[in-house]
Amino acid sequence: MSIKSIIKKGIVGSRMLRLKQFCMQKAALVIYYHSVSDRWERDQTYLPGISVRSETFRMQMRLLRDRYHPLLLDDIADLLELRQELPSRSVAITFDDGFEDNHRVAAPILEEFGFRATFYLTSGCVEHQTLPWFAKMRFLTNQAGKHPKLVHDSLAERDWQFPQDARNVSLFHTRHCACMSWHQQMDRIAHVEKMLELQFDSEPAPGMMTWEMARDLIQRGHLIGNHSYSHPNIGHISNENRHFEIVESHRLLEKRLGSSPEHFSYPHPCLNPQHDEESDEMVRSLGYKTVVLTKPGLVRCNTSPAYLPRLSIGEMPIEEFHWKLETAFAGIET
């Protein structure tokens, strides 16, 4: 354990942060994950930085059970509507994107500790059983980065030298894909495949949840929400594409699940802002109980359910996870 970790553990153990929390208004914390993997090393090729080992996730859930008060987003929505005080140190668990391991790996661990979560589905990826564009982009540029080569990019109007430009290629095309909707994203991925002389291999890749899995999660007491159709930055796309990403995605979820989704999560692959007044109005018109963002912060009794902050959780030692929650409840950004 590093000196920094020892200091953090000492501060948490001293209960200094708990004392600060005691002096503050009671609040809830919404945390979010993406993937909980039982083949973590392989999945890093597709989902670097957003996948958590299954054993790490189990330790985190045990800590939540022992030290905090897990509850559902529905509970937070009800309390906010009534302007009632939130339970002290309460935590709502959410997942973005809709990967298959959410159903196969994460849900059983959640239920082992008596928890339920909200799973936001990228509906187009579930419907077509294909990974989101950002996972494909990362896979392609990672693979290209393994071999020295010089390629010409007609869209960027420049040459790229691999392996040193692998990250720059990913960033350049990611920024463009984030401003596009489904068919444009697929065209951009096809361009990158042709440029790199590679093809996305879906066989060893993580899978997406099926509609049957989503319905099963609902029957088991979990919540299913809308995470757009194709995962763009909704604050950066046209109104026509916005309608497709928000409203048509909502209708698809409604059709496949037999009920209307009541929770919405704004995607945030890159760029800011991730939403604007027009998209907020579109989301509001669909009657969602809550809308979550990726901005960290606490949920208090006067927080708008249309702008709920969330804390990102990834692969980390359990001491770091504990530190992250304690400092968040103390109102300290780390």
pLDDT of 90? 96
- Measured distance CA(223)–CA(210) in Å, rounded: 15
**What pLDDT digit, counting tens, does each position of 152-168 carry?**
999 999 999 999 999 99
287: left (phi over 0), alpha (psi -120 to 50) or beta: left
Closest CA to 329 of 10, 8, 12, 2: 12
The SS3 call for residue 285 is: helix
**What pLDDT digit, counting tens, does each position of 278-288 carry?**
999 999 999 99
Six-digit token pair at 328?
């968040």
pLDDT of 282? 97
pLDDT of 20? 54
pLDDT of 72? 97
Q: Are residues 280 and 151 in the same domain?
A: no
Q: Is the peptide bond preceding residue 163 cis, with omega within 30 degrees of 0?
A: yes
What range does the domain containing 284 cover? 3-125+206-329
pLDDT of 65? 97
Q: Over range 3-11, report the average pLDDT.
A: 63
Q: Are residues 212 and 269 in the same domain?
A: yes
- Measured distance CA(55)–CA(206) in Å, rounded: 18
This prediction has a pTM of 0.95
Residue 167 placed within a domain = yes
Question: Contact at 8 Å (CB) between 257 and 215?
Answer: yes
Q: Give how far Cα 176 sits from Cα of 31, 190, 227, Å.
A: 28, 14, 19
**What pLDDT digit, counting tens, does each position of 78-119 carry?**
999 998 889 989 999 999 999 999 999 999 999 999 999 999
Residue 143 placed within a domain = yes
Q: How confident is the model at residue 311 (pLDDT cuts 50, 70, 90)?
A: very high
- Measured distance CA(30)–CA(299) in Å, rounded: 8
**What pLDDT digit, counting tens, does each position of 200-250 carry?**
887 788 999 999 999 999 999 999 999 999 999 999 999 999 999 999 999
Q: Are residues 242 and 306 in the same domain?
A: yes
- Measured distance CA(121)–CA(108) in Å, rounded: 18
Total structural domains within the chain:
2
Q: Are residues 280 and 224 in the same domain?
A: yes
Closest CA to 107 of 33, 184, 16, 26: 33
Q: Are residues 96 and 188 in the same domain?
A: no
Q: Are residues 155 and 11 in the same domain?
A: no
Residue 88 sits in a domain of what CATH number? Answer: 3.20.20.370
The SS3 call for residue 188 is: helix
- Last residue in a domain, options 196, 224, 243: 196
Q: Are residues 178 and 323 in the same domain?
A: no
pLDDT of 11? 66
Q: How confident is the model at residue 7 (pLDDT cuts 50, 70, 90)?
A: low
Q: Are residues 104 and 210 in the same domain?
A: yes
Q: How confident is the model at residue 57 (pLDDT cuts 50, 70, 90)?
A: very high
Q: How confident is the model at residue 19 (pLDDT cuts 50, 70, 90)?
A: low
Q: Who has greater pLDDT, 320 or 20?
A: 320
Residue 334 placed within a domain = no
- Measured distance CA(290)–CA(304) in Å, rounded: 9
- Measured distance CA(213)–CA(100) in Å, rounded: 8
DSSP class per residue in 234-285: GGGS-HHHHHIIIIIHHHHHHHHHSS---EEE---SSSS-S--HHHHHHHHH
Six-digit token pair at 324?
């992250």
Q: Is the peptide bond preceding residue 204 cis, with omega within 30 degrees of 0?
A: no
Residue 201 placed within a domain = no
- Measured distance CA(246)–CA(172) in Å, rounded: 25
pLDDT at 64 exceeding the cut of 60: yes
Six-digit token pair at 275?
């939403």
Q: Are residues 142 and 160 in the same domain?
A: yes
- Measured distance CA(271)–CA(284) in Å, rounded: 23
Q: Are residues 179 and 120 in the same domain?
A: no
Q: Are residues 154 and 225 in the same domain?
A: no
Q: Which of 3-17, 68-82, 234-248 has the lowest mean pLDDT?
A: 3-17
Residue 170 placed within a domain = yes
Using a 10 angstrom Cβ sphere, with 0-12 exposed, 13-18 middle and 19 or more buried, the burial of residue 83 is exposed
- Last residue in a domain, options 148, 166, 196: 196
Closest CA to 190 of 159, 155, 161: 155
Q: Are residues 121 and 224 in the same domain?
A: yes
pLDDT of 248? 98
Question: Contact at 8 Å (CB) between 217 and 115?
Answer: no
- Measured distance CA(326)–CA(323) in Å, rounded: 5
